[in-house]
A and B are shown apart, each in its own frame.
Chain A
Amino acid sequence: MLGAAYGWTARDHRAQELVALTDRLTQLEKRNSSLQEQASRSADLHARLSELETALAAALRDAESARQAALVETPAAEMARPAPEPVVADAAALDFGDPEKGREVFAQCTSCHQIGQGAEDRIGPHLNGIFGRRAGAHEGFRYSDDMKMMGADGLTWELANLDAYLENPKALVSRTRMNFAGLKDPQDRSDILAYLRQFSASPQNIPEAAPTAQPREVDLSPEVLAIVGDTDYGEYLASECKTCHQQDGSDKGIPAITNWPTEDFVVAMHAYKRQIRPHPVMQMMASRLSDEEIAALAAYFAQGE
């Protein structure tokens, strides 16, 4: 009786074991085939990726040689003619102003900037191909550290930020070498931009064609600039800045924020807040500061420690 029961149990165990082993085998087979599938998918993707990379490289080469050709071969007279009607049309976003008038306004820039055939870097960089160019990235020109930083942060020149930079250079680049107070008249700016744009290759493809790229005013109302900051509050808020910005004013990797003239500071913070300046951390930090809080920070930093 007992023996029979024992024998039965043992068999039962073995049967269970067999079931378990079969299960495990199916599992392993499944995993194996899924791994194989993954491997072949990843091989496919690799192949596709390298095709795309090759195509991209070729396209980039073509685009660059087209750009060079456009810059070198087009006679100056022809370049001054209005650009062909853009293909991507958003009438409002592309309302550029008058390039002829723009040329007149540009006269005040020519002591530093050249543009057109044979243009070279002078006190400022030449401006051929400025639309779509990374800030501070034109080879061979000595930019300010701040301009280089803006470029590294991702600033690429397009309608909205060129407009902002022309309106108030320091709003975008605090310690820019461009010694220029800014063009306050929006019409002057759009005329000048219309003029500059003719010297950039394939202007219909330039990034400002996106309907979101409306020019934005950067200058602040006198009321905002007049707010007197609460330095105690500024001190607390500033403690957040000091996690990253060095307190001794050195600028290893992250710019110094000590000894910063109040108005420049305020204008810069608002430019981050409105996302005119690039840099995700600064945009995020500034986005939650009210006008009063920006003023409080400026007041605190102005008084030094």
Chain B
Amino acid sequence: MKLNRRAFVGTGMAAASTLGAPMVHAASHGIPKVVVVGGGAGGATAARYIAKDSAGEIDVTLIEPTRSYYTCFFSNLYIGGFWDLENLSHSYGKLASDYGINVVHDWATGVDRDAKTVALAGGGSVPYDRLILSPGIDFVDGSVPGWDVSAQNAMPHAYKGGSQTELLKAQIMAMPEGGTYVMVAPPNPYRCPPGPYERISMVAHVLKANNPTAKIIIADPKANFSKQGLFEEGWQKHYSGMITRIGPDFGGENVTVDPAAMTVDVDGEVINADVVNVIPAQKAGLICEAAGLTDGNWAPVDGHSMVSRLDENIHILGDATNQGDMPKSGFSANSQAKVAAMAVRGALTGSRVFPAKYSNTCWSLIATDDGVKVGAAYEPNDEKIASVSSFVSQTGEDVAMRKATYEESIGWYEGITTDMFG
């Protein structure tokens, strides 16, 4: 580990400043430096809140390779034809122009935790007093035998935003009449617990309109899934006969794929498919592992401030963390970012720090105007972030309420994307 990290120590400026001024408050001038890796739901929110609330007292750098962030949230609505691709795309322009954040479009390739620098793929490194990592997820190698990232064009995951979503949608629209779509659903824990099932609903919605004899098959390693009663009620109501789910009792956990032949083998039965949406098992974004901050697949954090349990100068947010009861969602990452931002400001500038509170609500669309939601409030204890109260939509709700729930989700999308990008 040490060797690895040493290998990434940058050249020039960072190294010099490390030697020259054993940092209390960073590099060349007195302003403390925060570096945020990953400009998604967690990272963009954290960067914006720190820059906004410290009003120039903290220097914020955001490292994010893509120039436009495509949200995963609502990407299913794009697949369902309810939302345009452009609506999913957000630029980092305002974070730079309105909040003074130094946005660096590059990959972070490693962290030197002793020197407190982040190495960049494009060369060089960036020093920090506090580092925030919110890199999202990567996939566990070999979790679906036959699939690896090189097969993601033949069998897309569409579980990271942007081109993958577009690809999956194009493949669905190109399915032959009466063709077969197969989803290989992921094991727990994974990003957005209702996500795969909302996707099934949206795939069924477009196919019902364009290709009503098409078949949808889910091979699922989990006995149960999020909002199951609500989804199953909705599938029965809107897409009766289109969707078959093969759970673990029928071999749904024993799946291999052959991307060249476009087949899926579910417990010995070979399915010829036209679209195969493989959502593999997940783990923390690779940078967490490279920085030596993971324990197993995820990065453990203390829920009082989202600080890493392995490094007191690094906070980790969102999907990459192992924090306790919160689901891996954009809402959760955004909620965690505000707690971390407050803690980081408190540590660097002495601003007031209040007890952490968290919340999450995940909306899902089942069919036109048929929205449902699930949510909970959370508070940390020393062991984990624990759920303190929760709710879920009920089966049998009337049309007006479901419509209001859907409209509410659109409001939430506006709210959270503004909260992330200004």
Q: Does B238 contact A (CB under 8 A)?
A: no
Given the known A-B contacts A153-B404, A242-B419, A253-B407, are A284 and B376 also in contact in the complex, defined by CB atoms under 8 Å?
yes
Report chain B residues within 8 Å CB of A232: 352
Report chain A residues within 8 Å CB of B400: 134, 137, 151-152
In the complex, residue of chain A having the shortest beta-carbon distance to the beta carbon of B379: A288
- Whether B415 pairs with A243 at a CB distance below 8 angstroms is yes
The residue that B361 contacts in the complex, of A149, A245, A250, A281, with Cβ under 8 A, is: A281
Report chain A residues within 8 Å CB of B376: 284
Q: Does B78 contact A (CB under 8 A)?
A: no
- Whether B338 pairs with A247 at a CB distance below 8 angstroms is no
Q: Which of B30-38, B93-101, B184-192, B388-396 contacts A (4 or more CB under 8 A)?
A: B388-396
- Whether A285 pairs with B359 at a CB distance below 8 angstroms is yes
Report chain A residues within 8 Å CB of B338: 236, 239-240
Q: How large is the interface on A (under 10, 10 to 19, 20 to 34, 35 or more residues)?
A: 20 to 34
Given the known A-B contacts A152-B403, A240-B338, are A285 and B377 also in contact in the complex, defined by CB atoms under 8 Å?
yes
- Whether B401 pairs with A246 at a CB distance below 8 angstroms is no
Q: Does B416 contact A (CB under 8 A)?
A: yes
Report chain A residues within 8 Å CB of B410: 252-253
Given the known A-B contacts A153-B404, A253-B407, are A245 and B389 also in contact in the complex, defined by CB atoms under 8 Å?
no
- From residue 165 to 181 of chain B, which have CB atoms closer than 8 A to chain A? none
Shortest beta-carbon distance from A294 to chain B in Å: 13
Residues 314-347 of B, flagged 1 when their CB comes within 8 A of A and 0 if not, give: 0000000000000000010011001000100000
The residue that B411 contacts in the complex, of A24, A134, A254, with Cβ under 8 A, is: A254
Shortest beta-carbon distance from A143 to chain B in Å: 13
A-B contact count (CB 8 A): 96
Most B C-beta atoms less than 10 A away, residue of A242, A246, A280, A285:
A280
Given the known A-B contacts A152-B400, A239-B49, A247-B419, are A253 and B408 also in contact in the complex, defined by CB atoms under 8 Å?
yes
State in angstroms the CA–CA spacing of A237 and B339 once bound together. Answer: 10
Shortest beta-carbon distance from A36 to chain B in Å: 14
- Whether B415 pairs with A236 at a CB distance below 8 angstroms is no
Shortest beta-carbon distance from B315 to chain A in Å: 16
The residue that A153 contacts in the complex, of B335, B357, B401, B412, with Cβ under 8 A, is: B401
Q: Does B308 contact A (CB under 8 A)?
A: no
Shortest beta-carbon distance from A86 to chain B in Å: 26
Given the known A-B contacts A153-B401, A240-B335, are A283 and B391 also in contact in the complex, defined by CB atoms under 8 Å?
yes
Q: Does B409 contact A (CB under 8 A)?
A: yes
The residue that A246 contacts in the complex, of B373, B379, B404, B418, with Cβ under 8 A, is: B418
- Whether B357 pairs with A287 at a CB distance below 8 angstroms is no
- Whether B411 pairs with A281 at a CB distance below 8 angstroms is no
Report chain A residues within 8 Å CB of B250: 31
Q: Does B414 contact A (CB under 8 A)?
A: yes
- Whether B388 pairs with A244 at a CB distance below 8 angstroms is no
In the complex, residue of chain A having the shortest beta-carbon distance to the beta carbon of B393: A280
Residues 275-305 of A, flagged 1 when their CB comes within 8 A of B and 0 if not, give: 0000011011101100000000000000000
Given the known A-B contacts A239-B338, A240-B338, are A152 and B377 also in contact in the complex, defined by CB atoms under 8 Å?
no
Binding site for B on A (CB under 8 A): 24, 31, 134, 137, 149, 151-154, 232-233, 236-237, 239-240, 242-248, 250-254, 280-281, 283-285, 287-288
* 21 A–B pairs (Cβ distance < 8 Å), ordered by A: A151-B400, A153-B401, A153-B404, A233-B352, A236-B354, A237-B357, A239-B338, A242-B415, A243-B359, A243-B419, A244-B361, A248-B418, A252-B407, A253-B410, A253-B412, A254-B411, A281-B361, A284-B359, A284-B375, A284-B391, A288-B389
Which 8 residue pairs spanning A and B have beta carbons closest together? A253-B411, A254-B411, A152-B404, A280-B391, A253-B407, A253-B410, A239-B338, A244-B415
Binding site for A on B (CB under 8 A): 49, 250, 268, 331, 334-335, 338, 342, 352, 354, 357, 359, 361, 373, 375-377, 379, 388-391, 393, 400-401, 403-404, 407-412, 414-416, 418-419
